[in-house]
C-alpha cells in the first residue's frame, strides 16, 4: 500500500517544486520503501511506496506507450500512480496479453485497462485502490487530462481540493494542508456530524475546501477543473435471491475461499487481526485451510477492566487450527499515551474507540515483520450482524427506531445551541431506498455507503498506515459482497441473532469459535478510564478552543464528572468530546501533540 498525491495546474505551467516536495514528505509514513515522481506539462504526481508485490520492478509511476507515442523516451506516454491492490491482475494480464506488461506489479493492470476502455477502466477491477492516471494525449486543446478513481467500497482513501492554482489530490487531507494548498479551516456541518455520530458523511470532509472522491467514483480533470464524474455502485440491485440452505453454505465456502485466497496474494509476510468474534474467526478458518504454515494471528485484550477480555477465547480459537498467536495487553496507561498519536493520524476523523487497539495491533504487527494484515471489517455490514439492523426493522411499539435517530449529545444540554447534523443521513436514506430491496437490505446499503468507508475503513487505513502496514478486508470484496447482500433475510437475521448463515458455516468449519454463543461485542473500556479521571479531564477538555466554540463549559465539566453513569451515554459523549478536543488542537490549530492526553490538553489551556 502506498501514498499518492499530485496537482494539475490551471495556468498550464508545471507545478512548483516545493508543492511536490511537501506532498511527498507528508505521505512518507504510507510508503517507507521508495519514492517516485512524475512531471509532464501542467501535471505533477508523487508516490510513496510500501512494497508488497513485485518488490524489484514495481516502482511507480508506471508507464504505458501509446500508438501516437511509441518511442522509448516515454514522452507522451500514459502514466499511473496508485495506492492499491488489484486482485484480478492475473486474469487481466491473461486477457490483455502478458507481453504488453513491463513489470510484475498488479497496479500496472489498470493502466492497460485504461488504454482499452478509457474512463470506464475501473469497472473491470477487483480490488482496493485509489488511482491517478495522466493521459497527455487528450483533453481540451490536447493539453492532457487527469483521471482519478476510487474502489467501490471506498477501502482506499482519496481526497481532492479545487483551488485557484488547480486541482490537487492526495491519499490524506493533511498532505494537502502541509503543501499549503488548503488552509486548515473547519467545515462546521461535518463537525456537527462528528460530535453527534462519531464520523462524517458524504463528499465534504471536516476541512473546508477538501472533498472526498466518493467510493466507486471516477473523476476526469482537464485544465485543473473537473469536467466529468461517474460512479460504480458497490452493491447489486434487486431483492434477495432464493437459495436452499445447503447450497448457500456451499457457495459461501466457495466465495470465502476465493476472496481470502486473493487477499493473501503478497510477496511479503502477512498475518491476521483476530478479535475472537465471528468475522475474524471465519477469516482464520479459511486462512488455515489455504496456508501450509501456521497463520500468525494478533489479539488485543484489556486486563483489569470491566469489559470482556477476548484473549482467552481467541487463544482457544487459534489453538484449534494451530495458529501462532500473539497476545497484546492494552491498559489505561496505553490509552492516555496513545490517544494523541491516534488523533493525530486520524486526519479525516472518526471518533471510533476501536482505533486505539487497532493502532496498537498495527505496531505489534510491524515489530513482528508483518507488512500485510487481513481483518474482518465488513462482515457485520454484509451479513447483517448489527443489533441496530434488527431494531430498525421492528415497529415502534416493539422498541424499533431508525438508525442514527438520536445523536450522541442530544438531550444532554452540552451544546450551546441545537445544531443540524442529520441532513446527509436523511438524504442518503432517501437516495438508497429501493422498493425492490427489503428493508434490511436498505439499512445495510446505508451503512455500506457511509459508515463503512468513513468510519471503519478510514480507521483501519490510518492506524495501519501510520506503521507502514497494509490492511486487507476479504469481506469487502465485490463478488463476496454481491453474494452476501442478496441472501434471503432469514439467512442473515433470526432468533435475535444476525449473521446466521455465517455462524452456521463457522459452526461446522471451526466449532471452537462457538459462533452461536451469546458474546458481548468488541468493547474498549474508554468510559471506565475516562470516569476515573473525570473531574481533572473535564476541566481540561472544557477549556479547549474547539470545545468552547460548540459547547457549554460547565455542562462539559459535569458530563465528565458523570462519565461513569447514565447507562454509558455520558461516557460515550465524554469520549467524543475528548477525541474532538485533541483532534481540533492538532489538525485545526496546528499544535503539536504531547506525550499523553493530559500533557497535550494542558499545553493548550
Query: Residue 563 pLDDT more than 90?
Result: no
pLDDT tens, residue by residue, 178-224? 999 999 999 999 999 999 999 999 999 999 999 999 999 999 999 99
Judge whether residue 241 has pLDDT over 70.
yes
Mean pLDDT of 46-52: 88
Span 20-38, pLDDT tens digits: 999 999 999 999 888 999 9
Q: pTM of the full predicted structure?
A: 0.96
CB-based burial label for 520 (10 Å; 0-12, 13-18, 19+)? exposed
DSSP SS3 for 40: strand
- Position 166 scores a pLDDT of 96
- Asked if the model's pLDDT at residue 113 lies above 60, the reply is yes
Q: What is the SS3 assignment for 145?
A: strand
Task: Identify the pLDDT of residue 140.
Answer: 59
C-alpha 103/C-alpha 124 separation (Å) is 20
Using pLDDT thresholds of 50, 70 and 90, give the confidence band for residue 390: confident
Is residue 565 over pLDDT 60? Answer: yes
Q: How confident is the model at residue 521 (pLDDT cuts 50, 70, 90)?
A: low
Task: Name which of 557, 555, 537, 530 is nearest 598 in CA terms.
Answer: 537
C-alpha cell at 272: 491476521
| Average pLDDT of the segment spanning 562-591 | 93
Give the whole-angstrom CA distance, residue 156 versus residue 471: 10
pLDDT(72) > 80: no
Distance CA 123, CA 113 (A): 9
The structural domains of the chain, ordered by start, are: 2-231 (3.60.20.10), 245-513 (3.40.50.620), 526-603 (no CATH)
Position 419 scores a pLDDT of: 85
Give the C-alpha distances (Å, rounded to integers) separating 82 from 75, 107, 148, 342, 572: 20, 7, 10, 25, 37
Counting Cα atoms < 13 Å in the Cβ hemisphere of 499 gives 22
pLDDT of 276 reads 82
How confident is the model at residue 75, as a pLDDT? 73
CB–CB of 171/5 below 8 Å? yes
Residue predicted with more confidence, 153 or 57: 153
pLDDT digits (tens, 9 = 90+) for 479-497: 999 999 999 999 999 888 9
- Residue 111: per-residue pLDDT: 95
Is residue 141's pLDDT more than 60? no
Per-residue pLDDT at 534: 93
Each residue's pLDDT tens digit, 438-458: 999 999 999 999 999 999 999
Position 14 scores a pLDDT of 94
Is residue 61 reached through a cis peptide bond, with omega within 30 degrees of 0 on the bond before it?
yes
Q: Are 476 and 456 in contact (CB under 8 A)?
A: no
pLDDT higher than 70, residue 70: no
- When pLDDT is cut at 50, 70 and 90, the band that residue 603 belongs to is confident
Sign of CA dihedral 427, 431, 435, 437: negative
A 10 A CB-CB count for 528 gives 18
Q: What is the pLDDT of residue 398?
A: 59
* pLDDT tens figures, 255-305: 999 999 999 998 889 999 999 899 999 999 999 999 999 999 999 999 988
Asked if 297 contacts 314 with a C-beta cutoff of 8 angstroms, the reply is yes
How confident is the model at residue 394, as a pLDDT?
Answer: 79
Average pLDDT for the chain = 93
Helix (H, G, I), strand (E, B) or coil at 74: coil
Average pLDDT for residues 570-584, to the nearest whole number?
97
**Is the model's pLDDT at 138 over the cut of 80?**
no
* pLDDT mean over 486-512: 96
Count Cβ atoms below 10 Å from residue 78 Cβ, excluding itself: 24
pLDDT, average across residues 358-375: 97
The per-residue pLDDT for 590 is: 97
387 versus 568: the higher-pLDDT residue is: 387
Predicted pLDDT at 86: 96
Q: Tell me 376's DSSP state.
A: -
* pLDDT tops 70 at residue 89: yes
Q: Which residue has the higher pLDDT, 334 or 59?
A: 334
Amino acid at each position: 500500500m502506498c501514498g499518492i498525491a499530485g496537482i494539475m495546474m490551471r495556468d498550464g505551467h508545471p507545478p512548483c517544486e516545493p508543492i511536490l516536495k511537501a506532498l511527498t514528505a507528508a505521505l512518507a509514513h504510507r510508503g517507507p520503501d521508495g519514492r517516485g515522481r512524475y512531471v509532464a506539462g501542467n501535471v505533477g504526481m508523487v508516490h510513496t511506496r510500501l512494497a508488497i508485490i513485485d518488490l524489484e520492478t514495481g516502482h511507480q509511476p508506471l508507464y504505458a506507450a501509446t500508438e501516437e507515442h511509441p518511442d522509448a523516451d516515454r514522452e507522451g506516454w500514459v502514466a499511473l500512480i496508485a495506492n492499491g491492490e488489484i486482485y484480478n491482475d492475473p486474469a487481466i494480464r491473461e486477457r490483455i496479453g502478458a507481453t504488453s506488461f513491463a513489470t510484475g506489479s498488479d497496479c500496472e493492470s489498470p493502466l492497460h485497462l485504461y488504454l482499452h476502455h478509457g474512463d470506464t477502466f475501473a469497472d473491470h477491477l477487483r480490488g482496493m485502490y485509489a488511482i491517478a492516471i495522466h493521459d497527455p494525449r487528450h483533453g481540451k486543446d490536447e493539453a492532457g487530462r487527469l483521471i482519478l478513481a476510487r474502489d467501490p467500497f471506498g477501502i482506499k482513501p482519496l481526497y481532492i481540493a479545487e483551488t485557484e492554482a488547480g486541482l490537487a489530490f492526495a491519499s490524506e487531507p493533511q498532505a494537502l494542508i502541509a503543501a499549503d494548498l488548503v488552509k486548515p479551516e473547519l467545515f462546521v456541518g461535518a463537525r456537527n456530524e462528528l460530535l453527534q455520530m462519531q464520523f462524517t458523511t458524504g463528499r465534504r470532509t471536516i476541512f473546508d475546501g477538501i472533498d472526498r472522491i466518493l467510493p466507486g467514483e471516477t473523476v476526469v480533470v482537464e485544465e485543473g477543473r473537473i469536467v466529468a464524474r461517474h460512479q460504480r455502485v458497490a452493491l447489486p440491485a434487486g431483492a434477495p435471491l432464493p437459495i436452499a440452505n445447503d447450497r448457500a453454505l456451499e457457495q459461501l465456502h466457495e466465495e470465502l475461499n476465493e476472496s481470502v485466497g486473493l487477499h493473501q496474494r503478497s510477496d511479503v509476510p502477512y498475518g491476521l487481526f483476530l478479535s475472537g468474534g465471528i468475522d475474524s474467526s471465519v477469516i482464520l478458518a479459511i486462512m488455515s485451510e489455504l496456508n501450509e504454515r501456521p497463520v500468525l494471528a494478533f489479539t488485543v485484550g484489556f486486563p483489569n477492566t470491566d469489559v470482556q477480555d477476548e484473549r482467552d477465547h481467541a487463544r482457544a480459537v487459534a489453538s484449534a487450527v494451530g495458529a501462532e498467536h500473539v497476545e497484546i495487553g492494552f491498559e489505561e496507561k496505553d490509552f492516555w499515551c496513545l490517544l494523541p498519536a491516534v488523533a493525530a493520524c486520524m486526519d479525516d476523523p472518526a471518533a471510533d474507540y476501536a482505533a486505539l487497539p487497532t493502532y496498537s495491533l498495527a505496531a505489534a504487527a510491524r515489530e513482528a515483520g508483518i507488512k500485510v494484515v487481513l481483518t474482518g471489517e465488513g462482515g457485520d455490514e454484509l451479513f447483517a450482524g448489527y443489533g441496530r439492523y434488527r431494531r430498525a426493522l421492528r415497529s415502534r411499539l416493539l422498541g424499533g427506531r431508525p438508525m442514527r435517530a438520536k445523536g450522541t449529545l442530544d438531550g444532554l444540554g452540552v451544546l450551546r445551541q441545537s445544531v443540524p447534523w442529520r441532513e446527509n443521513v436523511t438524504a442518503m436514506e432517501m437516495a438508497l431506498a429501493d422498493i425492490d430491496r427489503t428493508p434490511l437490505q436498505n439499512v445495510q446499503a446505508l451503512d455500506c455507503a457511509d459508515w463503512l468507508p468513513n468510519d471503519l475503513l478510514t480507521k483501519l487505513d490510518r492506524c495501519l498506515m501510520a506503521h507502514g502496514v497494509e490492511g486487507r478486508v476479504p469481506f469487502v470484496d465485490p463478488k463476496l459482497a454481491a453474494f452476501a447482500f442478496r441472501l434471503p433475510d432469514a439467512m442473515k437475521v433470526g432468533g435475535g441473532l444476525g449473521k446466521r448463515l455465517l455462524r452456521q458455516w463457522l459452526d461446522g468449519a471451526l466449532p471452537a469459535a462457538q459462533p452461536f454463543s451469546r458474546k458481548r461485542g468488541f468493547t474498549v473500556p474508554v468510559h471506565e478510564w475516562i470516569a476515573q479521571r473525570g473531574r481533572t479531564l473535564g476541566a481540561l477538555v472544557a477549556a479547549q478552543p474547539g470545545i468552547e466554540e460548540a459547547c457549554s463549559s460547565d455542562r462539559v465539566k459535569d458530563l465528565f464528572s458523570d462519565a461513569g453513569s447514565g447507562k454509558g451515554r455520558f461516557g460515550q459523549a465524554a469520549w467524543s468530546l475528548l477525541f474532538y478536543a485533541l483532534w481540533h488542537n492538532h489538525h485545526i490549530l496546528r499544535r503539536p501533540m504531547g506525550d499523553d492526553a493530559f500533557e497535550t490538553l494542558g499545553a493548550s489551556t
